[in-house]
Amino acid sequence: MPKMKTKSGAKKRFSITGSGKIKRKHAYKSHILTKKTKKQKRNLGYFTLVDDADKKNVKRMLLK
């Protein structure tokens, strides 16, 4: 069986922490920012972790 490649879109969007958790950026921070509060925009700027329900699919995309 041929070696599978990492999904290039996932490679750009996710990174794995030292403890094995998967980091991701928040959505809704790219446009239509005028109607969002300062607090909303500030909190969307931080990284967060991928939910356990999605972790299996993301790991498969990253082949780890």
Domain-located, residue 31 = yes
Domain-located, residue 12 = yes
Ranges in the chain, pLDDT < 50: none
The domain tally of the chain equals 1
Domain-located, residue 17 = yes
Short-list 58, 60, 61, 63, CA closest to 22: 58
Short-list 9, 18, 1, CA closest to 57: 9
pTM summary value = 0.79
Tokens found for residue 29: 């921070």
Q: What is the pLDDT of residue 1?
A: 64
Domain-located, residue 2 = no
Domain-located, residue 3 = no
Question: Nearest-5° angle of CA 33, CA 25, CA 54?
Answer: 125
How far, in Å, CA of 56 to CA of 23, rounded? 14
Domain-located, residue 1 = no
Q: What is the pLDDT of residue 64?
A: 64
Q: Which domain holds residue 23?
A: 8-62
User: At 39, phi and psi to the nearest 5?
Assistant: -60, -45
Domain-located, residue 48 = yes
